Chain A
């Protein structure tokens, strides 16, 4: 139990780190776009990101994020935002698909700075699949906590829900999503995140 809690905390601690922003920013944007299905999209986004990150470490996923694969990734990314926008209700396959595919895409692109417990997960992934997959999910719940909180917030504070439901908020998410897809296609997504991080970080 201690390992689970510590893994979750280690995930929370890296939320503001540049390495994590590459997986966090697309998730935040996706949840803003998914006005009617935020919780479903957020939950599946976390699952998708954890699954792909773990699959890469365990050797079950071998596609590199380079060249033509990035162009395809950009198209898929754009598709996830469109699906999230269109999803009418939580049970819609658009919501589930947008979340899991969007998350998987982010997990695939994520090159983490590895802390103590994430290091253990990655080092053990090939030999201890179920345990490390579970811990990776726990880590991602921590690292992507803002995504989940934005999805949960309207249930606790209806005023936040009304604010998030406004079309301009969704448009902001869509613009970030479009920037994500475009920078992916031209291979500059990391640079964009790095520059944002550098600008926002104290000297």
Chain B
């Protein structure tokens, strides 16, 4: 009786598990995960979106005071004064690159000097979560590029086929990545910028005019990218 129950239980788990995997696999494989909101969601109302993200907003590993960011973005719907956006760290530079695409600049410093705010995202074209963020970045680029905001996509490939320059150019064209791309083929900057022994795709930083990191997030969460939009907008008004 007992072994019969165990057998049916195992069978049930097996069938449920297989069904779940099939469901996940046959769902649109090139789209964002359905059950978790991703950054491709259009940015419509940053302030309201920040409220939605109240629970999800979190401190980063590079600074323990990031909740202030969440608090400040949440408070933006009220009349209370906004709390300052914390400084998380001093930004590094990009070295040992294999070149640049979509720009005549040859260094991060050049781009920073020509702009007020620089958004640096580590990505690779084969990473679906990275692709999920591109609509949000594109929207931000369209809204803020002429106000002194530049995006730098640091392309750090995970696999050999993602390191091929022709593949990168083709993917960037197909994905609509029109902002500067720094080619970090050997992942030197990918590892140097991210603390700890590993790195993550995508990861995005906002660097202000004083070369300070004011925003740092891993993942493709739409709420986080709305927060990014709002932080950039606030930093623009502050400078």
Contacts and interface: CB of A to CB of B under 8 A. Distances in A.
A172 B54 CA distance: 49
Interface string A94-137: 00000000000000101111111111101111111000000000
B178 interface: no
B36 A115 contact: yes
Interface in A33-58: 56-58
B56 A115 contact: no
B35 A156 contact: no
A9 to B, nearest CB: 5
B162 interface: yes
Contacts of B202: 113-114
B142 interface: no
Contacts, number: 174
Nearest to A197: B159
Interface residues of B, number: 58
Interface in B203-224: 203, 217-224
Nearest to B156: A111
Given A10-B33, A65-B197, A124-B58, A115 B219 contact: yes
A187 interface: no
B161 A12 contact: no
A117 B157 CA distance: 23
B1 interface: no
Contact of B59 (A56, A114, A127): A127
Interface of A: 6, 9-10, 12-13, 15-19, 56-59, 61-65, 108, 110-120, 122-128, 145-146, 148-149, 152-153, 155-157, 190-191, 193-195, 197-198
15 contacts: A13-B35, A15-B21, A16-B25, A114-B200, A116-B221, A119-B220, A123-B218, A124-B58, A125-B61, A149-B14, A149-B21, A153-B14, A156-B9, A195-B160, A195-B161
Interface of B: 6-15, 17-18, 20-21, 24-25, 27, 29, 33, 35-38, 56, 58-61, 64, 126-130, 132, 158-162, 191, 195-203, 217-224
